Amino acid sequence: MSLIMSVAIGSGWTGMAGGKTRRRTRLPTLYAMTPKSRRTHLRHVPAERRTARFRCVIAVAEPGGREAVVAGTVEGVILDAPRGTRGFGYDPLFFYPPLGRSFAELSDTEKAAVSHRGHALRAARRLLCECYTAQPDV
């Protein structure tokens, strides 16, 4: 049996476009803004409304037509200024309240345990283990 895997990964802030969406629509993203313009843009937004969500979706399609989709999400808050030196993209601006740190302040192991990609990959692994075996095609 052969599998075709398609992975779609996207992220965005509440009310803001994700990076790829921005390139297509020319909408502003917090990551593309300078620190000064980001502070200006968020100045009147109360902390409780600076919510953010990362989402990762993984689709698995078998040539015979069987398809499955799994997703992972993680909720957080947008920081006023970047914190931490690890990770990439929005990680320095994404504060994860349960651990009290930004994603850029987490170790790789901590981030993998709580991130949207980690959740989606674990769900995809469970799906593949449940649905597909190492048995050869007959």
Least confident of 6-15, 70-79, 103-112: 6-15
Say yes or no to pLDDT of 109 above 90: yes
The model's pTM is: 0.70
Tell me what percent of the residues of the chain surpass a pLDDT of 90.
25
Domain chopping of the chain, boundaries:
4-131
Identify the architecture of domain 4-131 in CATH. Alpha-Beta Complex (3.90)
For residues 82 and 7, the model is more confident at 82
The confidence score (pLDDT) of residue 32 equals 62
Q: What is the pLDDT of residue 119?
A: 94
Q: Which long-range contacts (CB under 8 A, 24 or more apart) does 31-35 make?
A: 31/89, 31/90, 31/93, 35/81, 35/82
pLDDT at 17: 46
Mean pLDDT score across all residues of the chain: 76
What tokens appear for 65 in the block?
């037509």
Cβ(103)–Cβ(41) under 8 Å? no
